[in-house]
Amino acid sequence: MITIVEANSKKLLREFVNFPFALYKNHPYWVPPLINDELDTFDKTKNPAFTSAEAYFYLAYQDNKVVGRIATIINWDEVNNQQKKKVRFGWWDVIDDIEVTKALLEKVYELGKKNNLEYVEGPMGFSNLDKVGVLTEGFDEIGSMITWYNYSYYAVHLERLGYVKEKEYLENRFPFSNVKTEFFVKPNELIKRRYQLTALNFTNTKDIMPYVDKMFDLFNASYASLSSFVAITDVQKEYFKKKYISFINPEYIKFVMDKDDNMVAFSIVMPSFSEALQKAKGKLFPFGFYHLLKAKKESKDVLFYLIGIDPEYQSKGVTAIIFNEYYTTFKEKGIQNCIRTPELEDNHAIHNMWKHFDPVTFKRRRTYKRDLKE
């Protein structure tokens, strides 16, 4: 018998966070989150996503043992401002038993129908800066701190339950040795002169902070045209500023400014923390912090986390400035592999940016959709 229980206490939320640690114990490719960070994500007093969203967390039990979990989410900005009558689900993990998946998803349907919503989509988080998608290819590749890993049966469960693909995401990589400077060194100088642009580089995190709000404003403007995009609010900006910026090497954040000190482009790259997080096993202490700090300083793999260009400057070659700055930084640090985080398959503009470096798609993931009327 399967029993579904709402994780509505600190004890149950900790069980919710800990379940994947049992499901993927000693798995070579699963990258565990930091437990306290996950708990903060689900804390309504700490995560500003709850100012525009509501979420409920559920555990599935069988024989007094946790066998699955799911978060049910409504992003009210998405529903009210974009008229997308959607209920989301995320943080979904389950044993290979479709009946457990079915029982968990019933809680998603309940929330959706209660609020007169029309369809379900997932897995996805509260916003565009959360993890997204079920892995469908690349099960023998290590995950990252900004993606979910899952077993191959996850997609099988959803498809057997009548779900269809909604969005496809690609993860690509290329060796740094593939980078051909002729595609950006000379264009970089031409673009700077033509549009009177300047690149900003940093060596200290505190010097970045005055620019972060501008960066998120530009992020909202850059991605507004994508059908899946929900803008980041002012309160969320502060949250993400504290949560992510300190994790990132300051020299891996690049801004491009115009003559009036307006930001026209930005890029954030992160060192790969995958192996460090595996060693940390969900905890910063006693040794997790050491492993993360070591990776921050020494990792030879980098993840291109975010890139944004003002719509007025798109297709004007501004990426040449960004690539030129990173080339100098990466060469000094001996970077070996460049990894791009999930990008929508139909975002052709972003794919065209990288085509000269011969990237290879090594993972695919997707969100799935099902009408609530079924």
pLDDT of residue 71: 98
CA–CA gap between residue 94 and residue 83 (Å, rounded): 31
Contact call for residues 306 and 296 (beta carbons, < 8 A) = no
Residues 126 and 40: their CA atoms lie apart, in Å, by: 13
Q: Are 309 and 262 spatial neighbours (Cβ–Cβ below 8 Å)?
A: no
Tokens 């980078």, located at residue: 179
Residue 302 contacts by C-beta under 8 Å, 6 or more apart in sequence? 252, 269, 270, 271, 272, 330, 335, 337, 338, 339
Q: Which stretch of DSSP H or E encloses residue 14?
A: helix 10-23
Q: CA 325 to CA 330: how far, in whole Å? A: 9
Q: CB neighbours of 175 closer than 8 A, spacing ≥ 6?
A: 336, 337, 338
Query: 254, 266 in Cβ contact below 8 A?
Result: yes
Distance, in Å, from the CA atom of 313 to the CA atom of 132, rounded to the nearest integer, reads 28
98: which residues sit within 8 A by CB, 6+ positions away?
Answer: 157, 160, 161
Statement: the pTM of the whole predicted model exceeds 0.75:
yes
- From first to last of its 374 residues, the chain has per-residue pLDDT tens of 999 999 999 999 999 999 999 999 999 999 999 999 999 999 999 999 999 999 999 999 999 999 999 999 999 999 998 899 999 999 999 999 999 999 999 999 999 999 999 999 999 999 888 999 999 999 999 999 999 999 999 999 999 999 999 999 999 999 999 999 999 999 999 999 999 999 999 999 999 999 999 999 999 998 887 766 778 888 888 888 877 787 799 999 999 999 999 999 999 999 999 999 999 999 999 999 999 999 999 999 999 998 999 999 998 999 999 999 999 999 999 999 999 999 999 888 888 889 999 999 999 999 999 999 86
**What pLDDT, on the 0 to 100 scale, is given for residue 315?**
87
Three-class HEC string of 288-331: HHHHHHHHHHHCCEEEEEEEEECHHHCCCCCHHHHHHHHHHHHH
CB 195 within 8 A of CB 317: no
Q: How far apart are CA 138 and CA 134, in angstroms?
A: 11
Instruction: Tell which residue, 340, 222, 213, 212, has the closest CA to residue 270.
Output: 340
Domains of the chain: 2-171+367-371 (3.40.630.30), 175-362 (3.40.630.30)
d(CA 116, CA 311): 35
